[in-house]
């Protein structure tokens, strides 16, 4: 029977490497998936440019951060990027509205099949991707400053006397706080305000909502603004937590789509749940359990292998597998999203 | 005026222009470069044909072309490389056992899914099957991988291939891609059209991740170099009588009047150049043969009752379904066929490169560029897809020096060593992305049927 401290050590280890990163990553995915799902619900196509729009917003925020830093501005213990964020959001909103006007609106007016819009979003993705690489290059950028940790592993060890430390990065704390605020705001907006209600009506039944006098252009515009803001924030939070690299953001497209579909595409609550489902599956499946198990079993049983279900290089395969399972078992997703 | 031109006219004009452009490259730059571009144009065309089969005939949206091409590339390596005997004796049996357990697990899971009635018992049985299967597979797989990767890892460290002629890998690559397409199609077809797109995106990322990380199979990022060629090596040509005499005959004009050492040197230079060109011509011949075969099959298929049915399904799924056509079944069929063609093209590309380099598989080059080819060329029209393959590849290759030149010209007024100037010139290559995206958007909007539109029937 393992001793109490061993169990506690195992728990702390698990929390440190699985629970906390999972919550932070899940919140980032949820914010990204919310954007995808809103666009899907209102504009009725899967926006493949989403990942690169995210990269664009993050890039503008990084540039603004550098500019603020060069001016000697800082946000105390918080990262300067949070001050630069409004600028990033504004630029991304502008980008989305311009692409909508130049590209998507034409196909919407023509009532093209969704796949044409998807293809158009591919073209937009190309252009935005090119612009981002042209401006900031393809390298890794780290732009986190301010206090790195809310709690350091050593402090936790001293505090509790355990072997294992529990570290909480500020980026993780910021992510969770911002995600909660944003989700709260979004649901308040969708449920209580006139604009939010008209969005839901439009998503439910386009013809009926038009008959009741809802202005479709306004609904579309609000959708892009919200999606752009959510996307930029998701991108900046991800970049603060890990790092910014244009190609990584393109690759985030897969887990984000998986999250939206798993939760039920077109359903905001589904996007949030889906985000956490995907994030936790990724972390749980790629985490090596060797140390955790070593604490829990008698010494002679201690495992030799890493006890890792899948290498971290295959983390994208995890979101794909979950996507496949959901498509096979329940194609509408957990929360019964849009019709197929 | 242009819009009134018949398709045959347009095709003739466009292909003549393309041929002229390639000849111009030959005359002004070099023939070796012109042939290099031609070879890649041919491969791109085959790939574009594959995508055209899916998109043009059936309206299926596949954005995982990279994955299918990578499977073809893996096939080229696995078929042609000689087996590494030491690695096989080190871990061969264990790999075989783990493969057997892996396949057995999948069959058992399928059996449980199909044959058992839905109940809590079925769920439990499924979990038991999957967990046992996973554990057994890992038990043999892990030591095998360690043993194989440890055998002379600087040179080999992988199992090698079958040591067969590399040409054989082309159909094999097609089969591998078809297998992957079958799995994806089974899952994602019959649902919303964008789900197929997302699923293909996923599988292509996974295929490339496997190629990069499974060192025992593909050496991962260490690359596999020196794949055997289907055509003669330059060195062999230098030593063969008939080739030397051929070159002497071709260059008799410039060799006349030269004596002794001077003649030797001139002949050597001529030999080196001609051997390179000859090898590229051999490749071009092989690729053109494949292209013609696939094109013929495509044309025959499109004109057959089957082709008519496919168009009917594409243009109105509901009506076709009401007429008793199995829409999902036909979609699966055509998705597999198109992916197989992409796989063949992928194998051809790796054959031409003579090496498998998993890091070169990037979605931009292998998925999105191909899409631009199909849309610009004319989706639904086979000749259009081929033209798109030629045109876009040509522009892509020639725009690299062009972009740098343009940027240098534009920033010429800035002083040497200026940070902005350096940045702009260095980033010029990324402008190609923007240009390609704009081309795609503009063609979609203003000329949705492409350069050679689909024939109205």
Mark yes or no for CB contact B63/A122 under 8 Å.
yes
Q: How confident is the model at residue A339 (pLDDT cuts 50, 70, 90)?
A: very low
Mark yes or no for CB contact B437/A125 under 8 Å.
yes
At B307, list the tokens: 């082709």
Q: Of the segments A89-98, A132-141, B365-374, which one has the largest average pLDDT value?
A: A89-98
Which one of A124, A317, A324 has the shortest CB-CB distance to B187? Answer: A324
Distance of CA A192 to the CA centre of its chain: 25
> What residues of chain A lie within 8 A of the CB of B435, using their CB?
130
Q: How confident is the model at residue B71 (pLDDT cuts 50, 70, 90)?
A: very high
Q: Does B395 touch chain A (CB under 8 A)?
A: no
Q: Identify the burial level of B136 via C-beta atoms within 10 angstroms of its C-beta, where 0-12 means exposed, 13-18 middle and 19 or more buried.
A: middle
Q: Does B130 touch chain A (CB under 8 A)?
A: no
Mark yes or no for CB contact B201/A134 under 8 Å.
no
Q: Could you report the per-residue pLDDT of B280-337, keeping only the tens digit for each?
A: 999 999 999 999 999 999 989 888 999 889 888 888 888 888 888 888 899 999 999 9
Predicted complex ipTM: 0.87
For residues B16, B17, B23, B29, the Cα torsion angle rounded to the nearest 10 degrees is -170
> What residues of chain A lie within 8 A of the CB of B187, using their CB?
324, 327-328
Mark yes or no for CB contact B444/A129 under 8 Å.
no
Q: Could you report the per-residue pLDDT of B185-236, keeping only the tens digit for each?
A: 988 887 777 788 888 888 898 899 999 988 888 888 888 888 888 888 888 8
Mark yes or no for CB contact B438/A127 under 8 Å.
yes
The secondary structure of residue A305, as a DSSP letter, is S
Q: Residue B3 above 70 pLDDT?
A: no
At A174, list the tokens: 């910021």
- Residue A244 sits at the vertex; the CA angle it makes with A241 and A248, to the nearest 5 degrees, is 105
Query: 1.25.40, 1.10.3470, 3.90.1720, 1.20.120: which CATH number matches B2-83+160-446?
Result: 1.10.3470
Q: Identify the burial level of B289 via C-beta atoms within 10 angstroms of its C-beta, where 0-12 means exposed, 13-18 middle and 19 or more buried.
A: exposed
> What residues of chain B lie within 8 A of the CB of A101, using their CB?
none
At B150, list the tokens: 């440890």
Secondary structure percentages of chain A, helix, strand, coil, to 5:
75, 5, 25
Which one of A126, A137, A314 has the shortest CB-CB distance to B436? Answer: A126
> What residues of chain B lie within 8 A of the CB of A331, using their CB?
191, 195
At B258, list the tokens: 């030269």
The position carrying tokens 């086979």 is: B382
> What residues of chain B lie within 8 A of the CB of A110, using their CB?
none
Alpha-carbon distance A141 to A62, whole Å? Answer: 9
Alpha-carbon distance B5 to B419, whole Å? Answer: 50
At A299, list the tokens: 């010494």
CA nearest neighbour of B354 among B77, B30, B79: B77
Q: Residue B1 above 70 pLDDT?
A: no
What distance in Å separates residue B141's CA from the closest CA in chain A? 13
The CA R_g of chain A, rounded to the nearest whole Å, is 22
Mark yes or no for CB contact A340/B427 under 8 Å.
no
Instruction: State the pLDDT at residue B380.
Output: 83
Contact A92, A57 (CB under 8 A): yes
Q: Could you report the per-residue pLDDT of B347-373, keeping only the tens digit for each?
A: 999 999 999 999 899 888 888 899 999
Per-residue buried b or exposed e for A1-32, using 16+ beta carbons within 10 Å of the residue's own CB = eeeeebebbbbbbbbbbbbbbbbbbbbbbbbb
SS3 A150: strand
> What residues of chain A lie within 8 A of the CB of B438, using their CB?
123, 127
From first CA to last CA, the distance across chain A in angstroms is 52
Distance set, CA B70 to CA A303, B56, B200, B208, B345 (Å): 36, 23, 13, 7, 10
Mark yes or no for CB contact A120/B441 under 8 Å.
yes
Alpha-carbon distance B395 to B375, whole Å? Answer: 15
Instruction: Render B129-180 in DSSP notation, one character per residue.
Output: HHHHHHHHHHHHHHHHHHHHHHTTTTT--S-B-----GGGHHHHHHHHHHHH
Q: What are the domain boundaries of chain A? A: 21-282
Query: 1.10.3470, 1.20.5, 1.10.10, 3.30.70: which CATH number matches A21-282?
Result: 1.10.3470
What distance in Å separates residue B121's CA from the closest CA in chain A? 17
Mark yes or no for CB contact B213/A311 under 8 Å.
yes
**Most B-contacting residue of A50, A130, A330 (CB-CB within 10 A), to test interface:** A130
**Most B-contacting residue of A41, A115, A278 (CB-CB within 10 A), to test interface:** A115
Which one of B193, B205, B431 has the shortest CB-CB distance to A251? Answer: B205
What distance in Å separates residue A263's CA from the closest CA in chain B? 14
What distance in Å separates residue A247's CA from the closest CA in chain B? 10
């Amino acid at each position: 029977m393992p001793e109490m401290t061993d169990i506690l050590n195992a728990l702390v280890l698990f929390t440190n490497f699985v629970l906390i990163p999972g919550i932070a990553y899940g919140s980032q995915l949820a914010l990204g998936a919310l954007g995808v799902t809103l666009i899907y619900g209102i504009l009725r196509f899967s926006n493949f440019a989403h990942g690169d729009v995210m990269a664009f917003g993050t890039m503008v925020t990084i540039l603004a951060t550098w500019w603020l830093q060069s001016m000697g501005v800082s946000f105390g213990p918080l990262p300067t990027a949070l001050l630069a964020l409004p600028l990033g959001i504004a630029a991304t909103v502008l980008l989305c509205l311009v692409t909508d006007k130049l590209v998507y609106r034409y196909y919407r007016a023509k009532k093209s099949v969704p796949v044409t819009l998807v293809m158009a979003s591919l073209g937009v993705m190309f252009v935005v991707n090119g612009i981002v690489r042209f401006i900031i290059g393809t390298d890794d950028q780290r732009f986190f400053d301010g206090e790195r940790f809310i709690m350091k592993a050593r402090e936790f060890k001293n505090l509790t006397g355990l072997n294992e430390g529990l570290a909480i990065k500020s980026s993780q704390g910021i992510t969770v706080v911002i995600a909660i605020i944003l989700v709260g705001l979004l649901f308040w907006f969708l449920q209580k305000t006139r604009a939010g209600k008209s969005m839901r009506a439009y998503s439910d039944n386009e013809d009926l909502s038009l008959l009741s006098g809802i202005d479709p252009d306004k609904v579309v515009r609000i959708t892009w603004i919200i999606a752009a803001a959510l996307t930029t924030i998701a991108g900046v939070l991800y970049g603060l937590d890990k790092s910014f690299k244009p190609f990584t953001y393109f690759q985030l497209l897969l887990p984000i789509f998986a999250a939206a579909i798993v939760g039920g595409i077109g359903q905001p609550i589904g996007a949030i749940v889906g985000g956490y489902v995907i994030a936790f599956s990724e972390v749980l499946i790629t985490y090596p359990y060797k140390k955790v198990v070593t604490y829990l079993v008698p010494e002679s049983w201690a495992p030799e292998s890493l006890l890792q279900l899948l290498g971290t290089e295959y983390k994208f395969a995890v979101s794909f597998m979950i996507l496949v399972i959901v498509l096979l078992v329940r194609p509408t997703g957990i929360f019964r999203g849009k019709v197929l | 005026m242009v819009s009134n031109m018949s398709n045959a006219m347009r095709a003739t004009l466009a292909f003549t222009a393309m041929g002229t452009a390639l000849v111009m490259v030959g005359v002004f730059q070099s023939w070796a470069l012109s042939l290099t571009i031609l070879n890649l144009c041919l491969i791109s065309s085959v790939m574009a044909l594959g995508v055209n089969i899916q998109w043009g005939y059936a309206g299926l949206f596949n954005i995982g072309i990279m994955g299918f091409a990578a499977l073809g590339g893996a096939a080229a390596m696995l078929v042609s490389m000689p087996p590494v005997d030491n690695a096989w004796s080190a871990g061969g049996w264990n790999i075989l056992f783990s493969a057997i357990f892996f396949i057995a697990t999948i069959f058992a899971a399928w059996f449980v899914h199909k044959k058992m009635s839905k109940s809590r018992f079925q769920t439990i049985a499924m979990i038991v099957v999957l967990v046992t299967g996973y554990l057994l597979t890992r038990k043999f797989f892990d030591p095998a991988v360690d043993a194989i990767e440890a055998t002379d890892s600087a040179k080999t460290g992988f199992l090698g291939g079958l040591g067969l002629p590399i040409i054989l890998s082309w159909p094999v690559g097609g089969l591998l891609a078809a297998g992957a397409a079958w799995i994806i199609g089974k899952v994602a077809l019959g649902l919303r059209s964008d789900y197929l797109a997302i699923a293909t995106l996923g599988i292509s990322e996974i295929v490339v991740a496997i190629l990069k990380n499974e060192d025992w199979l593909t050496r991962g990022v260490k690359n596999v170099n020196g794949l055997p060629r289907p055509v003669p090596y330059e060195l062999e040509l230098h030593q063969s009588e008939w080739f030397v005499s051929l070159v002497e005959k071709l260059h008799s004009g410039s060799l006349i009047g030269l004596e002794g050492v001077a003649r030797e040197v001139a002949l050597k230079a001529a030999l080196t150049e001609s051997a390179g060109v000859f090898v590229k011509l051999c490749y071009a011949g092989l690729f053109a043969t494949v292209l013609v075969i696939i094109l013929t099959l495509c044309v025959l298929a499109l004109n057959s009752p089957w082709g008519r049915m496919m168009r009917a399904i594409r243009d109105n799924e509901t009506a076709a379904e009401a007429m008793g056509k199995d829409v999902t079944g036909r979609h699966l069929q055509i998705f597999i066929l198109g992916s197989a063609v992409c796989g063949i093209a992928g194998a051809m590309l790796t054959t031409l490169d003579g090496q498998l380099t998993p890091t070169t598989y990037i979605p931009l080059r292998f998925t999105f560029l191909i899409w631009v080819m199909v849309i610009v060329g004319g989706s639904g029209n086979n000749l259009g897809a081929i033209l798109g393959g030629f045109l876009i590849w040509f522009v892509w290759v020639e725009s690299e020096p062009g972009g740098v030149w343009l940027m240098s010209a534009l920033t010429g007024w800035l002083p040497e060593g200026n940070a902005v100037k350096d940045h702009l010139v260095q980033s010029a290559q990324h402008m190609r992305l923007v240009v390609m995206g704009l081309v795609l958007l503009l063609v979609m909007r203003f000329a949705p049927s492409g350069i050679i539109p689909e024939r109205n029937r």
